[in-house]
């Protein structure tokens, strides 16, 4: 299923959501023009769990080399489709979460979800040598918050039915709940599979859960849609 837009107008201008989209896009445009240097850039700023594990085990951990990739990795992307997919979800669901929390708390919330997602991915795969990058974990946190805040909000969704595509209006809890179940299924399969590194499913799962739990702690007391 592909969400197209939600019918849940925001009461304020989504300045942080737009700034995050702009920041991710600008960083990706910078990546594109690096050419052969891109590999070194990714190695430095993406999160590679095995390197973090090695730094901790051998006592060589540092803020720049060990801790910062947990933050910088969430602003990198591996391709145009990766970037567009992430920014599309952020655009649809981020404005209402920002409106609920306020711009500054929303930015802190977004970063906390990204850090939580990266931490859970690291805990699940501490020996992985595959660089992890992308805003997916942080955005998954936004999705988790949206599902809690606006479970009944209507989301215009492109749904494949056999060989046909149908546009349907579904509750946000159905759209985001099915998205989460898909991540959980793929993440569980990845744990039991001997396949090589691919999508960081557990960053998605972790980000969603962190976002859902955080919003329960910090949301204003008001009625959900």
13-37 CB burial, b ≥16 within 10 A, e <16: ebebbeebbeebeebbeebeeeeee
Is the per-residue pLDDT at 81 higher than 50? Answer: yes
Query: What is the token pair recorded at 53?
Result: 């594990």
- Which bin fits 69, alpha (ψ -120 to 50), beta or left (φ > 0)? alpha
Interacting residues of 212 by C-beta distance below 8 A, sequence separation 6+: 144, 145, 147, 148
Predicted pLDDT of residue 22: 98
Overall pTM > 0.85: yes
The model's pLDDT over 170-210, given as tens digits with 9 standing for 90+, comes to 999 999 999 999 999 988 887 776 554 568 889 999 999 99
Contact predicate 46/132, CB 8 Å: yes
Contact predicate 105/215, CB 8 Å: no
Is 117 domain-assigned? yes
Is 72 domain-assigned? yes
CATH number for 114: 1.20.1540.10
Is 83 domain-assigned? yes
Is 185 domain-assigned? yes
| Structural domain of 207 | 2-218
The model's pLDDT over 92-140, given as tens digits with 9 standing for 90+, comes to 999 999 999 999 999 999 999 999 999 999 999 999 999 999 999 999 9
Cα separation, 180 vs 187, in Å, equals 10
Is 224 domain-assigned? no
Is the per-residue pLDDT at 58 higher than 90? Answer: no
Is 112 domain-assigned? yes
Predicted pLDDT of residue 160: 86
- Counted domains in the chain: 1
């Amino acid at each position: 299923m592909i969400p197209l837009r939600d019918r849940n107008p925001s009461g304020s201008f989504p300045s942080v959501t737009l700034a995050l989209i702009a920041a991710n896009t600008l960083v990706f445009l910078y990546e594109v023009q690096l050419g052969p240097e891109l590999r070194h850039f990714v190695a430095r700023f993406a999160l590679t769990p095995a390197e973090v594990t090695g730094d901790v085990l051998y006592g060589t951990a540092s803020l720049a080399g060990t801790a910062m990739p947990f933050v910088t990795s969430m602003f990198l992307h591996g391709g145009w489709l990766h970037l567009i997919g992430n920014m599309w979800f952020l655009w649809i669901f981020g404005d209402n979460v920002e409106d609920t929390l306020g711009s500054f708390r929303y930015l802190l919330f977004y970063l906390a979800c990204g850090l939580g997602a990266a931490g859970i991915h690291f805990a699940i795969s501490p020996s992985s040598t595959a660089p992890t990058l992308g805003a997916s974990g942080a955005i998954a946190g936004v999705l988790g918050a949206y599902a809690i805040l606006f479970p009944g909000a209507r989301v215009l969704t492109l749904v494949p039915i056999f060989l046909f595509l149908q546009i349907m209006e579904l509750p946000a809890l159905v759209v985001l709940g099915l998205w989460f179940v898909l991540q959980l299924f793929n993440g569980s399969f990845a744990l039991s599979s001997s396949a090589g590194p691919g999508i960081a499913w557990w960053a998605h799962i972790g980000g969603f859960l962190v976002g859902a739990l955080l919003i329960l702690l910090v949301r204003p007391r008001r009625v959900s849609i």
